[in-house]
């Protein structure tokens, strides 16, 4: 009955991370300090490994200039990642889970009006 959602946690609009969360876990227990540490380590590793590629560096530079008007150094991003606490994760998850889910469909969509509510009911999602 756990619902997987894609949570996007944004730090001041410049840094984002995507990870799957399960609704009952995120809403009832929250993330443990160990889980937060592991997630931070994974995010930092992905950030630094991606910056080894020239193409990714250029894409990152362009995105940062568009979003913030300046280049944010990797060290600043790592400091921002390190500042995240389990309480920050709980607050972000609570905000995401408080909103109704969005169902997207492409192609043949006859019957989608019955599909959405059925999936929502099976996973405890409020439409």
Per residue in 85-105, pLDDT tens?
988 988 888 887 777 767 677
Specify whether the backbone of 120 is left (phi greater than 0), alpha (psi in -120 to 50) or beta.
alpha
* Mean pLDDT, residues 36-47: 93
| pLDDT score recorded for residue 22 | 45
User: Which of 3-12, 83-92, 112-121: highest mean pLDDT?
Assistant: 83-92
Cβ-based neighbours of 26, under 8 Å, separated by 6 or more: 7, 90, 93, 94, 97
User: What's this model's pTM, rounded to 2 decimal places?
Assistant: 0.57
What's the confidence (pLDDT) of residue 107? 81
Residue that is written with structure tokens 């609704």 in the block: 23
């Amino acid at each position: 009955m756990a619902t997987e959602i894609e949570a996007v946690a944004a730090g001041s609009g410049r840094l984002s991370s995507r990870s799957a969360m399960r609704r009952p876990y995120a809403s009832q227990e929250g993330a443990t300090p160990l889980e937060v540490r592991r997630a931070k380590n994974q995010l930092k590793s992905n950030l630094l490994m991606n910056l080894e590629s020239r193409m990714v560096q250029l894409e990152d530079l362009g995105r940062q200039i568009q979003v913030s008007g300046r280049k944010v150094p990797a060290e600043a991003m790592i400091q921002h990642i390190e500042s995240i606490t389990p309480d920050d994760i709980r607050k972000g998850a609570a905000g995401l889970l408080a909103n109704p889910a969005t169902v997207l469909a492409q192609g043949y969509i006859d019957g989608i009006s019955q599909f959405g509510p059925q999936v929502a009911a099976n996973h405890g999602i409020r439409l």
